Amino acid sequence: MSEGEPRRSIATVCLSGTLEDKLAAAAAAGFDGVEIFENDLVASAHSPAEIGARCRELGLGVDLYQPFRDFEAVPPARLADNLRRAERKFDVMEQLGCDLVLVCSTVSPEAVDDDELAAAQLRELADRAAARGMRVAYEALAWGRFVNTYEHSWRIVRRADHPALGVCLDSFHVLSRGGDPALIRTIPGEKLFFLQLADAPRLDMDVLQWSRHHRLFPGQGSFDLKTFAGNVLEAGYRGPLSLEVFNDVFRQADPGPAAVDAMRSLRLLEDQLGYPVAEPAPALSGYAFTELAADATTARDLTAALAHLGFAHTGDHRSKPVQRWTNGSTHLLVNTNSPAKRTAEGEADPGADRGRAAIGALAVESGDPLRSARRAEAMRSPILARERGPEEAGLAAVAAPDGTDVFFCDSGARDGWRSDFRDTGEPSASRLAITGIDHVSLTQPFDHFDEAALFYRSVLGLEPEEVTEYAAPFGMVRNRGMLDAAGSVRIALNGTLVRRGQWAPAVRDPQHVAFACADVLEAATALRADGAPVLRIPDNYYDDLDARFGLDPELLGQLRAHSVLYDRDARGEFLHVFTELFGDRVFFELVQRIGGYAGYGVANAPVRMAAHRRQRAAS
């Protein structure tokens, strides 16, 4: 923990594995402390004393032991038993070297609605804790039987008035109920004993199930954690920022990367709160290039398609089998050096008999590439080591969660990335009215979706748009756009909600580069005349388009003739055309945004997927 940074903790329940796996992952990701979840300890073969020693060895404090349930507001006969249970927990905590226990507001049918009784019994518990040098943090569960708001838990703590009794705040329990975090500032800082942080998507469902299955790390969901945590800090809280996230996906994921994802989420939040954890992300000004990785055969198909799209082969890398293709100021690199990566690790690949192609790297134009690199490091995305030749640029790159490399470029610099290439001498004209890269669409396995959004948000400073879902031929698909402040860099994250097995033949997780085009209809006309591999869109689509929108017959006829797709939102219109699929998973798109259209044409994505499936079935 550096000077000026808060203490960072994580509840063991956030991570998958045995307690030993979890502690190792938390320490490796750089956490300062842990909340030990009782069930993790119960299943461990190590005694609490050994676990405590292990934590100290790993540099982890045991900041909280949890949860202790159904303690307060019970009839006197039950109190003795509850105090007996508490003493057993204190025994365990003593061995662990932990002095703070979490008590959740009761859900017991035995409890009564009596704040005075709850306060008196918690006072007695605090007395017992204090006698052993310990403290009690009382938390209002969102589904607590009588106490389910932090205001109520604070009233009881205030009434109990014991120095060893304070409040634990959990952002989920407050924000899921629409609670107002501003009132937190009315609680004295020294009575705020602990702070648990979790984000979540906005879901209209039973709050217990929402909490148990769908929490997310801060920055991945829809909660305003900056305001929430800001209020807690303003109240004078000086304890750890601790993550407590119950999530079905994280619970089954490798705990190593999950702990890094968790740490990144805290650093982004700290950044938002004004802690000096990272320099601000420099302004971006578009894509410098996108790199496709492919085998030699597929690379030939890709470059033939690029030629149709008006790109010229303008450069060759000085030391690697990488070609630069250029149309105006838009650059695509085609790399046949490394086999295209498959990100869906551990699954059989239905496209294995096809050539391989993938988006291997994105390069963004950064106002300050070195600062971008430092920010990435601060956000726990280490700079990748790269081999390079004597004349090559020292490009900084980091790896996104799905394995895509992200480069920070300053194309104007003398030693910019273009100096890595020998010019072929082939001229590059601006053709087909292509003006740049509109967006890059990256398909994520369902268990990397939220992690990927957080990565691009924290490292590049892109802001995520709302998650949309649509039904597609091979499963429900989630789509989330990410956009920089200037609107110059767009990434579309896509992925099926679930996926297992080998169905979805050859088109399971395509990726693509969408080029901005000033006149898609004209470009599509030229592509057709040129015999380009444009994806054929069926008549049924245009009949339906007509039924839905009642388009001008001439426009409809043109769209139909050239396989151009159409969408409309409140702000404008969208024309787009796709190429066929190359290798197992890459294609191109030309898009034209008319007016303020802000989407990605996802309404048309199922039609495109079915068409790619036909292309594959026919070949």
Please state the residue numbers annotated as binding site.
139, 170, 196, 244, 439, 512, 589
Nearer to a second copy, 189 or 606 (CB): 606
Helix axes of 255-273 and 19-28: crossing angle, nearest 10 degrees:
50
- With contact defined as beta carbons under 8 Å apart, do 263 and 219 qualify? no
Of 35, 28, 29, give the one whose Cα is nearest residue 9.
35
Helix axes of 553-562 and 539-549: crossing angle, nearest 10 degrees:
150
Which region, judged by CB under 8 A, interacts with a second copy, from 111-119, 224-232, 251-259, 261-269?
Answer: 251-259
Nearer to a second copy, 496 or 579 (CB): 496
Tell me phi and psi for residue 477, to 5 degrees. Answer: -115, 135
Among 2, 77, 178, 348, binds a second copy (CB under 8 A): 348
Among 4, 45, 529, 570, binds a second copy (CB under 8 A): 45
Q: Is the backbone peptide bond immediately before 75 cis, with ω within 30 degrees of 0?
A: no
Tell me phi and psi for residue 411, to 5 degrees. Answer: -65, -20
Nearer to a second copy, 233 or 545 (CB): 545
Among 14, 32, 36, 38, binds a second copy (CB under 8 A): 38
Nearer to a second copy, 101 or 241 (CB): 101
Does position 315 bind a second copy by CB under 8 A? no
Residue 181 gets which letter from DSSP? G
Q: Alpha-carbon distance 53 to 35, whole Å?
A: 15
In the complex, the smallest distance separating the C-beta of residue 93 from a second copy, rounded to whole angstroms, is 12
Q: Is 82 helix (H, G, I), strand (E, B) or coil?
A: helix
In the complex, the smallest distance separating the C-beta of residue 548 from a second copy, rounded to whole angstroms, is 8
Q: Which of residues 584-613 bind a second copy (CB under 8 A)?
A: 606-607, 609-611, 613
Nearer to a second copy, 89 or 331 (CB): 89
- With contact defined as beta carbons under 8 Å apart, do 79 and 121 qualify? yes
Q: Any bridge partners for residue 492, and if so which?
A: 441, 481
Nearer to a second copy, 127 or 349 (CB): 349
Q: Alpha-carbon distance 523 to 529, whole Å?
A: 10
Among 224, 234, 345, 415, binds a second copy (CB under 8 A): 345
What single letter denotes the amino acid at residue 67?
P
Q: Alpha-carbon distance 11 to 243, whole Å?
A: 6
Residue 325 backbone class (left: φ over 0; alpha: ψ -120 to 50; beta: rest): beta
Query: H or E stretch including 476?
Result: strand 475-483
Measured at the CA of 583, the angle between CA 593 and CA 566, to 5 degrees, comes to 20
Looking from the CA of 596 toward its CB, the CA atoms found within 13 Å total 2
Does position 540 bind a second copy by CB under 8 A? yes
Which region, judged by CB under 8 A, interacts with a second copy, from 173-181, 340-348, 383-391, 565-573?
Answer: 340-348
In the complex, the smallest distance separating the C-beta of residue 585 from a second copy, rounded to whole angstroms, is 17
Does position 130 bind a second copy by CB under 8 A? no
Among 39, 186, 337, 419, binds a second copy (CB under 8 A): 39
Does position 570 bind a second copy by CB under 8 A? no
Among 255, 401, 464, 510, binds a second copy (CB under 8 A): 255
Of 334, 331, 305, give the one whose Cα is nearest residue 322.
334
Residue 500 gets which letter from DSSP? -
Does position 296 bind a second copy by CB under 8 A? no
**For residue 233, what are its two tokens?**
């800090």
Find all residues with CB under 8 Å of 610, minimum gap 6, and list them: 473
Number of residues forming the site for a second copy (CB under 8 A): 76
Which region, judged by CB under 8 A, interacts with a second copy, from 170-178, 183-191, 200-208, 586-594?
Answer: 200-208
Q: Any bridge partners for residue 595, and if so which?
A: 572
Which region, judged by CB under 8 A, interacts with a second copy, from 320-328, 365-373, 440-448, 487-495?
Answer: 440-448
Does position 251 bind a second copy by CB under 8 A? yes
Q: Which of residues 496-535 bind a second copy (CB under 8 A)?
A: 496-504
Nearer to a second copy, 38 or 291 (CB): 38
Of 555, 563, 560, 553, give the one whose Cα is nearest residue 527.
563
Taking the mean position of all CA atoms in its chain, how far away is CA 30?
19
The full DSSP string for 503-516 is -STT-SS-EEEEEE
Which region, judged by CB under 8 A, interacts with a second copy, from 35-43, 170-178, 291-299, 321-329?
Answer: 35-43
Nearer to a second copy, 187 or 611 (CB): 611
What single letter denotes the amino acid at residue 550?
G
Query: H or E stretch including 322?
Result: strand 322-327
Nearer to a second copy, 392 or 584 (CB): 584
Does position 619 bind a second copy by CB under 8 A? no
Among 249, 399, 521, 598, binds a second copy (CB under 8 A): 249
Annotated binding site for Mg(2+): 439, 512, 589
Q: Which of residues 461-480 bind a second copy (CB under 8 A)?
A: 471, 473-476
Window 62-101: contact mask with a second copy (x via CB under 8 A):
-------------------x--xx--xx--x---------
Annotated binding site for a divalent metal cation: 139, 170, 196, 244
**For residue 132, what are its two tokens?**
């052993």
Does position 290 bind a second copy by CB under 8 A? no
Unique residue bearing structure tokens 């769908």: 214
Q: Any bridge partners for residue 242, and if so which?
A: 9, 196
Q: Alpha-carbon distance 566 to 574, whole Å?
A: 6
In the complex, the smallest distance separating the C-beta of residue 258 from a second copy, rounded to whole angstroms, is 9
Q: Which of residues 209-228 bind a second copy (CB under 8 A)?
A: 209, 213
Q: Is 562 helix (H, G, I), strand (E, B) or coil?
A: helix
Q: Which of residues 152-171 bind a second copy (CB under 8 A)?
A: none
Q: Is 265 helix (H, G, I), strand (E, B) or coil?
A: helix
Nearer to a second copy, 275 or 474 (CB): 474
Q: Which of residues 4-23 bind a second copy (CB under 8 A)?
A: 13, 16-19, 21
Does position 544 bind a second copy by CB under 8 A? yes
In the complex, the smallest distance separating the C-beta of residue 81 from a second copy, rounded to whole angstroms, is 7
Unique residue bearing structure tokens 């052993």: 132
